[in-house]
Amino acid sequence: MELVCPAGNLPSLKAAVDNGADAVYVGFRDQTNARHFAGLNFTARNAGEGVRYAHQHRVKVFVAINTYPQPAGWTQWQAAVDRAAELGVDALIVADIGVMDYAAEQWPDLRLHLSVQGSATNVEALRFYHRNFGIRRAVLPRVLSLNQVRQVMERSPVAIEVFGFGSLCVMVEGRCLLSSYVTGRSPNTYGACSPASAVRWCETANGLETRLNGVLIDRLEANENAGYPTLCKGRYRVGGRVRYAIEEPTSLNTLPILPDLQRAGVAAIKLEGRQRSPAYVAQVTRVMRAALDACARSPDSYRPEPGWNEELAGVSEGVQTTLGPYYRPWQ
């Protein structure tokens, strides 16, 4: 299985390459990608440097152009596709049908991967993108169980990439509007969920309050860790109780099931976290490289080393890790 690692900037890209990535994925410094955060991502110039560095080390570069352009912004997405193609990248990670159609027509030799933001959870949806745009690979949304991943794999016309580690979306990606309901900006339209510009932290008599465009997302006691106030991971009142009504802040960790994913025929494992530091990228890449190598050598006797889990737990959101949708304790 190929190891696909996040890179929000050049130091992260080098950290991924140096620690065993097979491919890195990056975005340009604008709303054409789903990690549109201040200070993050690549200009055409340093993307060129990144591509050179990766290719010198025989590592592939994928460019995420995985948000949904509206008519007013269309030319920006078109320019991003052209720029990526001219840089000689190995694949585009795309979500929008219009963008895919443009890329397939303009750059027929450029490989297309369907982004998780493309929201394809089943084989018929994959057939649509394969039939119309010749996509070669798809990243599955983080809602499917391991058995459902297997079912998709059995009949999929394209190779399948799944998330192996990182922050989790509990909603099916590409069709979640919670962020724009509160802030006017969503992953689809703007490339960010619960954008930092809408976040306010305030120390009050009731504890540390986090607000998103004025809406109270959570209230933390002194002994609680303050994670990023992603709105689906806030505590709300439902049925008379205050609780994580939608999802606890946890991270996905698939170390225990790598042999199952390998046997199912998964082509690539993706690590989440383009917004994280180069140190994070180095650490998760190194751990996952060791795990994937061990799994490839002997899947039957593979066991995650305790040290790996500890290292990953140390960089996880909310400190806990989970198998997420693959094994569903809530099913």
Task: Give the separation between CA 294 and CA 296, rounded to whole angstroms.
Answer: 6
- Of 24 and 232, the one with the shorter C-beta distance to another protein is 232
> Would you give the DSSP letter of residue 172?
P
- Of 130 and 270, the one with the shorter C-beta distance to another protein is 130
Do residues 70 and 31 touch, judged by C-beta distance below 8 A?
no
Residue 77 CB, shortest distance to another protein, in Å, is 8
Residue 281 CB, shortest distance to another protein, in Å, is 28
- Of 43 and 70, the one with the shorter C-beta distance to another protein is 70
Task: Give the separation between CA 54 and CA 21, rounded to whole angstroms.
Answer: 9
- Of 96 and 260, the one with the shorter C-beta distance to another protein is 96
Residue 188 tokens, joined: 């689809």
Pairing relation of β-strands 137-139 and 112-114?
parallel
Residue 92 CB, shortest distance to another protein, in Å, is 15
- Of 120 and 288, the one with the shorter C-beta distance to another protein is 120
Residue 323 tokens, joined: 């198998």
In order, the DSSP letters of 18-61 are HTT-SEEEE-BSSTTSS---TT-SB-HHHHHHHHHHHHHTT-EE
Residue 175 CB, shortest distance to another protein, in Å, is 5
Task: Give the separation between CA 177 and CA 197, rounded to whole angstroms.
Answer: 17
Do residues 291 and 255 touch, judged by C-beta distance below 8 A?
yes
Residue 202 CB, shortest distance to another protein, in Å, is 13
Do residues 194 and 183 touch, judged by C-beta distance below 8 A?
yes
Residue 85 CB, shortest distance to another protein, in Å, is 17
Report in angstroms the alpha-carbon separations of 47 from 58, 108, 198: 16, 22, 29
Task: Give the separation between CA 14 and CA 234, rounded to whole angstroms.
Answer: 34
- Of 39 and 330, the one with the shorter C-beta distance to another protein is 330
Residue 201 CB burial class (10 angstroms; 0-12, 13-18, ≥19): exposed
Task: Give the separation between CA 295 and CA 276, rounded to whole angstroms.
Answer: 26
- Of 44 and 172, the one with the shorter C-beta distance to another protein is 172
Question: Residue numbers of the site for another protein (CB under 8 A)?
Answer: 68-72, 74, 95-99, 101-102, 119-125, 127-129, 131-132, 143-145, 148, 151, 170-172, 174-178, 180-184, 186, 188-189, 213, 215-219, 232, 235-239, 242, 245-247, 325, 328, 330-331
Residue 69 CB, shortest distance to another protein, in Å, is 5
Pairing relation of β-strands 321-322 and 251-253?
parallel
